[in-house]
Chains A and B, each alone.
Chain A
Amino acid sequence: MSKAVPELWRLTVSEASRLLADGEISSAELTEAFLERIAAVDGRLSAYITVTADVARRQAADADRRIASGAGTSLTGVPMQIKDLLCTKGVATTCASRMLAEYVPVYDATAVARLREQGAVLLGKGNMDEFGMGSSTENSAFFPTRNPWNIDCVPGGSSGGSAAAVAAGAASFALGTDTGGSIRQPASFCGITGLKPTYGRVSRYGLVAYASSLDQVGPLARDAADCALALQAIAGHDPRDATSLPDRVPDYSAALTGDISGLRLGVPREYFAEGMDAGVREAVSAALDQLSALGAEIREVSLPTTGYALACYYIIAPSECSANLARYDGVKYGYSHQGDGDMWAAMERTRQDGFGMEVKRRIMLGAFALSSGYYDAYYHKAQQVRTLIRQDFARVFGEVDVLAAPVSPVVAFPIGELTDDPVRMYLVDIYTLPVNVAGLPAMSLPCGFSNGMPVGLQLIGPHLSEGRLLNTAHAYQQATTWHQERPEI
Chain B
Amino acid sequence: MPIDRNQVEQIAALARISLTEAETEVFARQLSDILNQFEALQSLDTDGVLPTSHVVGLDTVLREDEPAGSLESADSLLNAPQRRGDFFQVRAVLDE
Q: Which A residues form the contact surface with B (CB < 8 A)? A: 102-104, 106-107, 198-200, 213, 239, 242-243, 245, 305, 307-308, 310-312, 314-315, 322, 326, 329-336, 338, 342-349, 351-352, 355, 357, 360-361, 363-365, 367-368, 371, 377-378, 380-388, 390, 422-423, 426, 437-439, 463
Chosen A-B contacts, 12 in total, with CB atoms closer than 8 Å, are A106-B79, A200-B56, A331-B81, A335-B81, A342-B92, A357-B23, A360-B17, A363-B17, A364-B15, A368-B3, A368-B7, A439-B55
Checking A239, A314, A348, A437 against B34 with a beta-carbon cut-off of 8 angstroms, the contacting residue is A314
| A-B interface, 6 closest residue pairs, ranked by CB to CB distance from nearest | A439-B55, A383-B51, A336-B81, A333-B79, A384-B46, A343-B91
Complex Cα distance A387/B55, Å?
Answer: 8
Please tell me if the beta carbons of A348 and B61 are within 8 angstroms of each other in the complex. no
Closest A-chain residue to B81, C-beta based? Answer: A336
- The residues of B with any CB-CB pair to A shorter than 8 Å are 3, 7-8, 11-12, 14-20, 23, 26-27, 30-31, 33-35, 37-38, 40-42, 44, 46, 49-52, 54-56, 58, 61, 63, 71, 75-76, 78-82, 88, 90-93
In the complex, residue of chain B having the shortest beta-carbon distance to the beta carbon of A378: B38
Closest to B26 in A: A357
Whether B34 and A308, one on each chain, are in contact in the complex, defined by CB atoms closer than 8 angstroms, is no
Complex: A339 Cα to B17 Cα, angstroms: 16
Q: How far is the CA of A384 from the CA of B55 in the complex (A)?
A: 12
Establish whether residues A332 and B79, one from each chain, have CB atoms under 8 Å apart when the complex forms: yes
A199 to B8, CA, bound (A): 33
Cα of A380 to Cα of B53 in the assembled complex, Å: 11
Asked whether B58 lies within 8 Å of A200 as measured between CB atoms, the reply is: yes
**Residues of the A chain whose Cβ atoms lie less than 8 Å from the Cβ of B31:** 361, 364-365, 368
Residue of A nearest to B43 (CB): A308
A199 touches B55 (CB 8 A): yes
Enumerate chain B residues within 8 angstroms of A343, measured Cβ to Cβ.
90-93
Given contacts A332-B88, A335-B81, A343-B91, contact A352 B15 (CB under 8 A): no
Bound Cα distance from A387 to B93, whole angstroms:
42
A348 to B17, Cβ gap below 8 A?
A: yes
* CA distance in complex: A405, B12 (Å): 39
User: Which B residues touch A198, using CB under 8 A?
Assistant: 56
Residue of B nearest to A386 (CB): B52
B19, B34, B49 — most chain A CB neighbours (10 Å) = B34
The CA of A383 and the CA of B56, in the complex, are separated in Å by: 14
Complex CA distance for A338 and B82, rounded to whole angstroms: 9
Residues of A within 8 A of B75 (CB): 106
A336-B82, A367-B11, A438-B55 known; A312-B41 Cβ under 8 A: yes
**Once bound together, how far apart are the Cα atoms of A455 and B57, in whole Å?**
34
User: Residues of B contacting A385 with CB < 8 Å?
Assistant: 41, 44, 46
State A361–B20 Cα separation when bound (angstroms): 13
Q: Which of A342, A351, A371, A380 contacts B91 (CB 8 A)?
A: A342
Interface centre among B27, B35, B78, B88 (most CB of A within 10 A): B35
Taken together as a complex, chains A and B put the C-alpha atoms of A346 and B63 apart, in Å, by 39
For the complex, what is the distance from the CA of A333 to the CA of B82, rounded to whole Å?
9
Q: In whole angstroms, what is the CA distance A344 to B79 when docked?
A: 21
- Closest chain B residue, CB of each to CB of A213: B55
Which one of B18, B19, B34, B46 contacts A423 once the chains associate, using CB atoms below 8 Å?
B34
Q: Which of B35, B49, B56 contacts A388 (CB 8 A)?
A: B49
Please, which residues of chain A bring their CB within 8 A of the CB of B63?
Answer: 239, 242
Enumerate chain B residues within 8 angstroms of A439, measured Cβ to Cβ. 55-56
In chain A, what residue has the closest Cβ to B68?
Answer: A239
Cβ of B51 and Cβ of A384 under 8 Å apart? yes
How many angstroms between the C-alpha atoms of A355 and B46 in the bound complex? 36
Chain B residues with CB under 8 A of A367: 11, 14-15
Partner of B46, one of A307, A346, A388: A388
Known contacts A314-B37, A385-B44; is A360 also within 8 Å of B23 by CB? yes
Within the assembled complex, what's the spacing in Å between the Cα atoms of A311 and B17? Answer: 24
- Whether the pair A380, B51 counts as a contact (CB closer than 8 A) is yes
Q: Give the complex CA separation of A151 and B61 in angstroms.
A: 47
